[in-house]
A and B are shown apart, each in its own frame.
Chain A
Amino acid sequence: MSDVAERVKKIVVEHLGVEADKVVDKANFIDDLGADSLDTVELVMAFEEEFGVEIPDDAAETILTVGDAVKFLEKAKAA
């Protein structure tokens, strides 16, 4: 697992209080991990802080799963 994926999963586990083994790439924050819409906003805020990047609203809307977040942040980090 990449360093980014590890950090993303740690944030998701801590924030949503879910079991680590449920936080897989395909897991949808709302449907699979029980997040509400405010949780998704808070997760984006937490990602922004952890990785020192800005996630614009239109990008945030495309981040629906754990894998989406990892992919976005890996790209943002590489840029």
Chain B
Amino acid sequence: MFDLNGKTALVTGASGGIGAAIARALHAAGAIVALSGTRKEALEALAGELNGRTHILPCNLSQKDETEKLVPTAEAAMGGLDILVNNAGITRDMLFMRLKDEDWDAVINVNLTSAFRLSRAALRGMMKKRFGRIIQITSVVGVTGNPGQGNYAAAKAGMIGMSKSLAAEVASRGVTVNCVAPGFIESPMTDALTDAQKEAILRMVPTGRLGTGADVAAACVYLASAEAAYVTGQTLHVNGGMAMI
């Protein structure tokens, strides 16, 4: 089940923890994977670990020109693009009253606008092929909200609305568009939390543990598969039950 042999995938933010886990899982299912991110060394290390069937495509998604070249470059490198995972994201957390325009713009630009641009660029090839999988990595806070994350939650909620609209447009062409919404996932960010903070978080998570990159990646492999052809416009929550929505 969930065989991605012969499929080509582009994962943004593959230099980060969740992105790398997604790239590993798609690769393990047989896909050729283009690894994109801002930190070239991290991408090279991941490519070394995967040992074949990878391409390294560094890209700064805050730059429009670079972003618009990424999908054509990936298509040229791999001979097409079947699966796009918009995983890259940044945070600029701040209480709303103190939230600066720059921090709002930066988060919307990298987290939402780049996902729009990459999805738009990928559509031409996918519609022609009558097959495509666009997966947006959003967040539980895009649905529940979170103090201090007005900009981030707006971008993540925006991804969900964007994906539903696009899903409706291209469903008849064999292209699905879905979101995966992680909850609290083990990462350098959660490593920095104190034990007391971690305990408070875990009280909200019925599963009783933080999620892992692999938990998120498994959802992506499913949505990328041929078996998920009838699932589109959905948001798959991977949060250990902390929000049942």
Q: Which residues of A contact B (CB under 8 A)?
A: 38, 42, 45
CA gap between A38 and B127 in the complex, in Å: 10
- Could you tell me if A45 and B124 are in contact, using CB atoms closer than 8 angstroms? yes
Which B residues touch A38, using CB under 8 A? Answer: 127, 169-170, 172-173
CA gap between A42 and B126 in the complex, in Å: 11
- 8 new A-B contacts, CB < 8 A, other than A38-B127, A38-B172, are A38-B169, A38-B170, A38-B173, A42-B127, A42-B128, A45-B124, A45-B127, A45-B128
Cβ contacts A to B, 7 pairs, < 8 Å:
A38-B169, A38-B170, A38-B173, A42-B127, A42-B128, A45-B124, A45-B128
Interface string of B83-101 (1 = CB under 8 A from A): 0000000000000000000
Q: Which residues of B contact A (CB under 8 A)?
A: 124, 127-128, 169-170, 172-173
Would you give the shortest CB distance from A79 to chain B, in whole angstroms?
24
Would you give the shortest CB distance from B105 to chain A, in whole angstroms?
26
CA gap between A42 and B169 in the complex, in Å: 12
Which A residues touch B124, using CB under 8 A? Answer: 45
CA gap between A45 and B127 in the complex, in Å: 10
CA gap between A38 and B173 in the complex, in Å: 10
Which B residues touch A42, using CB under 8 A? Answer: 127-128
Would you give the shortest CB distance from B127 to chain A, in whole angstroms?
6
CA gap between A42 and B128 in the complex, in Å: 8
B169: nearest chain-A partner, CB-CB: A38
Nearest 4 A/B pairs, CB to CB:
A42-B127, A38-B169, A45-B124, A38-B173
CA gap between A38 and B166 in the complex, in Å: 12
Would you give the shortest CB distance from B19 to chain A, in whole angstroms?
30
Which A residues touch B172, using CB under 8 A? Answer: 38
CA gap between A36 and B127 in the complex, in Å: 14
CA gap between A38 and B174 in the complex, in Å: 13
CA gap between A45 and B128 in the complex, in Å: 9
CA gap between A66 and B232 in the complex, in Å: 33
Which B residues touch A45, using CB under 8 A? Answer: 124, 127-128
Would you give the shortest CB distance from A40 to chain B, in whole angstroms?
13
Would you give the shortest CB distance from A23 to chain B, in whole angstroms?
21
